A and B are shown apart, each in its own frame.
Chain A
Amino acid sequence: MTDVDQTFGVYVHWPFCAQKCPYCDFNSHVRFGGWDEARFLAAYKREIDWVAERIGPRTVTSIFFGGGTPSLMQAHTVASIIEHIAKRWGVAPDAEITLEANPGSVEAGRFRGFREAGVNRVSIGVQSLRDQELRKLGRIHSVAEAKAALEIARGTFERFSFDLIYARPGQTAEAWRAELAEALDLAGDHLSLYQLTIEPDTPYAALHAAGKLIIPDDHDASALYEITEEMTGERGLAAYEVSNYARPGSESRHNLLYWRYGEYAGVGPGAHGRILIGNTRTATVAERNPEAWAARVEEAGHGFTEMTTLAREEQADEMLLMGLRLSEGIDLGRLAVLGGARPSRPVITELEDLGLLQSAVDRAPDTSGKSGNSGNWRRNELDEIVACAGPGLRPETGAPGPDRIRVTPQGRLVLNAVVAKLSKSFQSPERVDNLRSAG
């Protein structure tokens, strides 16, 4: 697996949760009366069939069961979906198959069932290692249950990861250090550490607006982020993405595919996809309500409410905003081919001077999983780049900039602003070439 264009992922959204968490704005639904799992299984299969017919043959390199709470699924449902995907497309022997699990819904038996179904990686929503904090976050599990779940996961799957939410109301640097240290002791090769963000239309948003929920300000939150990078780094878990930390080679391959702007089908209620129909990159969005989605699938073969062809500029923006989340950064050559755009050199230089961005002459990064950090990153070497460029590498006129850019750890904190600035500076490579030949 060397090229993101050779990868293909399938995201399966399982929409049900035992309870809604007050900070969560994901597409999750509580059904006290339960759900008709057979009906949903049939719908997933039909939607997979429909997408497969559209896009044609693929080899699936990753599958991700997200939610909602996918660990509420019966193991045989998971198995049937994986089998169906394999039947439609074929699954690579080394494919990563991840399932998100909540500690409260974990039993050793269920995990074994998932393992037997083909799942080889679990991601557990631990969220906190403090019982009081878990209650505040509206979680129904305890720290003890979380730890037990991690033990079962460790014993059942080759790979596992867990999530924590930090920068919580009132959380001090010392408190986070202590909690994170414990987490690192429990961790395998991968951790997702998210700062609490207030999402619109959640109970937390209302509390926050009413002044009843005060989260750390930007200064304190940044300090917590830096502590996180420092402590994970010390334990060999590199910050390969804004909120994801892994031992080199243990990155989530499915999530890498999103960030590298690869192709993925999204099936299930509220799922998003980026699929290639012919050579056209298409954004799919499915109906969010589970039963309405199932009804649509039964009616039309798919539950998509939107299928939008993405313009080149849109692809450029998407590749940029996803790719810069990764410490490996993005390949500007691919950006030019895919999106017909290139950030302007003065803006790159300006961001480099601010210590927020790095550029490099680099061949395609090693995406075999060795953290992607192996590039020859230097600052302010644009002229050298042109000077040392081999004829096969770029046109005679010289490339209008470096091959790759990536944000620095400092830049990652202000990624939205960096992305906006780069995107605003986009020029079409054709135009750059014209300027060059005119000059």
Chain B
Amino acid sequence: MTAISHIRNFSIIAHIDHGKSTLSDRLIQLCGNVSNREMKEQILDSMDIERERGITIKAQTVRLDYRAKNGELYQLNLMDTPGHVDFAYEVSRSLAACEGAILVVDASQGVEAQTLANVYQALDNNLEILPVLNKIDLPAADEDRVKQQIEDVIGIDASGAIGVSAKSGLNVEAVLEAVVERLPPPKGDPKKPLKAMLIDSWYDAYLGVIVLARVIDGTLKKGQRVKLMATDGSYQVERVGIFRPKQEMLEQLGPGEVGFFTAAIKEVADTRVGDTITDEKNPTAEALPGFKPAQPVVFCGLFPVDAADFEDLREAMGRLRLNDASFSFETESSAALGFGFRCGFLGLLHLEIITERLEREFNLDLITTAPSVIYHLHMNDGSIIEMHNPADMPEISKIDHIEEPWIEATILVPDDYLGAVLKLCQDRRGRQKQLTYAGSRAMVVYELPLNEVVFDFYDRLKSVSRGYASFDYHIKNYEEGDLVKLSILVNSEPVDALSIIVHRARAESRGRSMCEKLKELIPPHLFQIPIQAAIGAKVIARETIKALRKDVLAKCYGGDISRKRKLLDKQKAGKKKMREFGKVEIPQEAFINALKMDDN
């Protein structure tokens, strides 16, 4: 076992594309853990979607043995943390398992909002921050400006920032030296009862649930009976080990060390991120602070395009949930879409990742309905109902008032796009709290209702800022709002899957926009189709899809019926991608695209 003074636990904080994964790979290579041949691009992000999107969903660690210039051998535990606002809690727990953090900033791009949020979390957890400027070999790199920005925006000393090029390997060794020299070792007492933090967990088909943990006090041994304090589950530890990044089995983990264990735990849901692991017979007196059970904040309906896939979808979601307890689902039935599931997510990215994995890994075609937040309905009888499906909206006369969740959003944006960003926030009922400058970049803090953000705010933000704005948020509180249920009627029948909860002041423009979108999205039928948006019985917007007037009146070439039949087959295949609603066929993508707003 390494002496605790020779252990360094650290994570890397960076904005997407600023080079976190590349730097991690370099550090791993420098410590000789992986041969070049084995080196897959970005070892730590092992899921396809993680690699494609350049984001990390599951926390992972790798133990490195580093022989420092002082001749001593150090144990470095590099923790790769989830890198998105949806996983803010998971990030905070990963950070809490470290004593230091490397802050990677692109030497030409500068600090981004997401980096900021993670740095603040690191500072909250008393981590030592080691600034690293990446991509210094690019022509656009401006180290001095970015250092100044780090000091201005984050308020930490950037004079010792290390300039590197993770891609070429330039000066990367200096980072390892600084980790040893400048980051503090962990503190812990091997004689105390076991106290370890559950950093993350995932399901392995062979080993069951694998728990990633950081030992604070005591030791975690093979054969030991441990208890997870929040879930009150007791297990016998079967295996203890570390990642290099390959699994390596050990007998035990001591204070300050990071590793994994397995203990015949059946479901990831039994292991909560941030929970305290202790010895069953000799437990620690106090659980670790900061534990929060995961709470979905965004909900939507997921329906199979082909109704016959319903059971497959259920099974696929069950399999994903094995590995992701923060994702929840229950059966939902819709008049428009048939049987499906109401699903809860940590945020929008989480929603996208899950739906994408369902489609890609399980080969399912899905219809996604409008994402919704949780509304608090204060009823006349004093009860409070939590509602996240507009279809569940009770009779309006029974509701005293409705509260909706608000967020505090931090947006960093270059000067040129500030006006557009402010307009977007104002249009989405935002309240400006702060507007400051750091160089030519503005930082705005807005309070926004989450229901204005859940759908396409992030896409719009990227679009109005040409991708330069970065965005981060956290849930602030619930506030009363003048909210109404906007129903969409297609051919005079309400389509439940298209109804949304919206602020009264925004209802008309949303209604009009949805009607216009649907007019484009639903192809002409053999009859005229009215599309209406209504609040209660009151129609507030209307469009009409004119009846199909003519399709091809082609000549039939010399008895070539096959060609006509192939065209018919194509037409019929197209119909299969539609949802029949009454007599109207609605394309599957219409359910989500109808909600997109242009904000013009």
Contact = CB atoms under 8 A, between A and B. Distances in A.
Contacts of A266: 558-559
B558 A197 contact: no
Contacts of A285: 562
A33 to B, nearest CB: 25
B526 A415 contact: no
A243 B583 CA distance: 30
Interface of B: 525-527, 548-562, 564-565, 567-569, 571-572, 575, 583
Contacts of B561: 258, 272, 274, 283, 318, 321-322
A417 B555 contact: no
B559 A414 contact: no
Given A194-B555, A197-B554, A413-B553, A272 B526 contact: no
A285 B565 CA distance: 14
A425 to B, nearest CB: 11
Given A218-B549, A419-B568, A351 B526 contact: yes
A325 interface: yes
Contact of A272 (B527, B551, B562): B562
A371 B575 CA distance: 34
Contact of B551 (A199, A258, A270, A417): A417
Which residue among A258, A413, A416, A423 has the maximum number of chain B CB atoms within 10 Å of its CB? Answer: A416
A222 B552 CA distance: 10
Contacts of A413: 549-551, 553
A270 B563 CA distance: 13
Contacts of B551: 413-417
Nearest to B564: A321
B549 A414 contact: yes
B562 to A, nearest CB: 6
Contacts of A420: 568, 571-572, 575
Nearest to B527: A354
A66 B526 contact: no
Contacts of B557: 25-27
Given A25-B557, A272-B562, A417-B551, 19 more contacts: A27-B557, A66-B558, A197-B555, A218-B548, A218-B549, A221-B550, A243-B553, A271-B558, A283-B562, A285-B562, A321-B568, A413-B550, A415-B551, A417-B548, A420-B568, A420-B571, A423-B572, A424-B572, A424-B575
A285 B557 CA distance: 13
Given A317-B565, A414-B548, A195 B553 contact: yes
A418 interface: yes
A212 interface: no
B553 A264 contact: no
B567 to A, nearest CB: 7
Nearest to A167: B553
Contacts of A270: 558
A222 B562 contact: no
A219 B551 CA distance: 11
A356 B568 contact: no
A114 interface: no
23 contacts: A13-B558, A66-B558, A197-B553, A218-B549, A218-B550, A219-B550, A221-B550, A222-B550, A225-B550, A243-B555, A266-B559, A270-B558, A273-B559, A285-B562, A321-B564, A322-B556, A325-B556, A415-B553, A417-B526, A417-B548, A418-B526, A424-B572, A424-B575
Nearest to B575: A424
A272 B554 CA distance: 17
A314 B549 contact: no
Given A225-B550, A321-B564, A354-B526, A274 B559 contact: yes
B549 A219 contact: yes
Top 7 nearest A-B pairs by Cβ distance?
A416-B551, A218-B550, A218-B549, A420-B571, A272-B560, A222-B550, A413-B550
Interface string A1-42: 000000000010100000000000111000000000000000
A421 interface: yes
Contacts of A218: 548-550
Contacts of A354: 526-527
Nearest to A306: B562
A26 B527 contact: no
Nearest to B574: A420
Nearest to B551: A416
Contacts of B548: 218, 414, 417
A350 interface: yes
Contacts of B575: 420, 424
A314 B569 CA distance: 10
A242 interface: yes
Contacts of A317: 565, 568-569
A197 B558 CA distance: 16
B568 A194 contact: no
B559 A11 contact: yes
A419 B554 CA distance: 14
Which residue among B553, B569, B575 has the maximum number of chain A CB atoms within 10 Å of its CB? Answer: B553
A322 B564 CA distance: 9
A418 B575 CA distance: 13
A427 to B, nearest CB: 15
A264 B556 CA distance: 15
A199 B563 CA distance: 12
A421 B555 contact: no
Contacts of A25: 557
A264 B559 contact: yes
A424 B576 CA distance: 10
Interface in A247-266: 258, 264, 266
Interface in A348-384: 350-351, 354, 356
Contacts of A11: 558-559
A414 B550 contact: yes
A263 B559 CA distance: 10
B552 to A, nearest CB: 6
B558 A421 contact: no
A357 to B, nearest CB: 10
A354 B571 CA distance: 21
Contacts of A13: 558
Interface string A403-431: 00000000001111111110110000000
B598 to A, nearest CB: 25
Interface string A49-82: 0000000000000001010000000000000000
A423 B565 CA distance: 11
Contacts of A243: 553, 555
